[in-house]
Amino acid sequence: MRGIDSNVIVYALNSDLAEHEPCKELLERIAVAKEIVGIPSIVFMESYHALVYKYKFLPTEVQRRLIAILDSENVIIYNISTSTILYAFEIANQYKIGGRDSLIAASMLENNVKEIYSHDADFDKVMDIKRIDPTIETSH
């Protein structure tokens, strides 16, 4: 199983972005059960924030689309606990990555997920996670 970073969801839901098509195709594969993924709960709020405040989508439209992903049988949601936050502090300090990315990494590793779909190279710094960029053919 692999995780998904918020940038993949943002690209998939915003057809104005160059990265849209391959990320949309990934979500479509998940929708038809060709793949099951795990998504840390913070990813949904990070995606909401980017789509509403950066890209100016209607909040109700973003909410509707994110709920469709949340409700998918092929998506497992990872909740954030106190232990996840404490682990994220360790990851942030060890790998010198930001708080949200360290929280996503901690959530995934707590759930034994070692691969993430992401366009964010910061995940390359985390030794126990392999980043797969759906916008390019090769993986990192």
Which tokens sit at 136?
């390019």
What pLDDT is attached to residue 67?
97
Domains and CATH numbers, the chain: 2-132 (3.40.50.1010)
User: Which segments of the chain have a pLDDT < 70?
Assistant: 137-140
- Using CA atoms, how far residue 78 sits from 18, 50, 65, in Å, is 29, 20, 19
Rounded distance between C-alpha atoms, residue 80 and residue 52, angstroms: 23
pTM score, whole prediction: 0.94
